[in-house]
Amino acid sequence: MKRTVSSRNGIGATAHIIQARELLSAQIHIDEPTIIVVRAGKKCLRWAGNQLVLSPGDTIAVADNQSFDVINTPCCQTGIYEADWLVCNDSIISAFLLNRPPTGKLIRDMLVVSSRNKPFLDSLDHARNGITNQEGVPANVAIARITEMLVWLDHFGGHFNSPSSSRSVSSLVRQHVNSDVSTVWTSRMVAKELGMSEATLRRRLADERAQFRSLLMDVRMTRALTLLQVTDMPITQISFDVGYDSPSRFTSRFKQRFGFRPSDVRMSKCSKIFQCGYLDSAKIIVSD
């Protein structure tokens, strides 16, 4: 079966991650509310002096507009790290908040879901199938399955906010670039899309300590990393898809952004951290 990012208009997107080498990916930005479940190996997230480690079966719900340092560690037995992620569409979240007032707290960064809860994991698989099996699952059923996931999250004590209600200008820029990463975007083009002048866009980005060029490159590189993890596309094709007509230039930019080459994501290497066992299963370590 061809590996790809599956998306369904008005419902969400999902993909299966495979990574064959332990790598540190710094400042990975999560643009939309996302649910991640680890299937094999371990995932370590670090942010603001905190650390969260997940083992197979562990699940987290991540709020929109979050950034983390991420270490995916392959399983010793299989030599690969595997995980699934599911992005929930904004309209479904908004409808859930309107029609079923949540009892849990707003997820401001992330919510750790009770690990290895089989009914919950079954529900997650059904929700993903509602996106991937567009011919077999009617749209209203797929929406109901995503809504069920939101009910589960509320059961575990948290709920997503509607992203559109609090998006920064930086997030809006990322959203427009993400809509077509291969486009040769300019600040003038994006400013027009946002209904403001180029000078206003630059000023508002400066207020958020952001720059258009840096946001553009980060969106492209993050998309490239995702494609390396969830597809079998040749690296040359990925470079074209994220807006680079020179694979060598793309590789240079990618290494500059992440500190490793695109090929390293698919290259197997023994994991020292996993062997040493210093990452504790499903444990949150918060600094003083």
Q: Where are the domains of the chain?
A: 6-165+275-286, 169-265
CATH of domain 6-165+275-286: 2.60.120.810
Given a cut of 50, is residue 76 above it in pLDDT?
yes
Round to the nearest angstrom and report the end-to-end CA distance of the chain: 47
Tell me the pLDDT tens digit for each residue of 5-46. Answer: 999 999 999 999 999 899 999 999 998 899 999 999 999 999
Tell me the CA distances in angstroms from 160 to 69, 106, 112, 154, 223, one per residue in order: 21, 6, 13, 9, 23
pLDDT classification of 282: cutoffs 50, 70, 90:
very low
β-strand 23-30 against 66-73: which pairing, if any?
antiparallel
Residue range 169-265 forms a domain whose CATH class is mainly alpha
Q: How many residues does the chain have?
A: 288
* E runs forming strands in 151-255: 158-159
Give percent helix, percent strand, percent coil of the chain, each to the nearest 5. Answer: 40, 25, 35
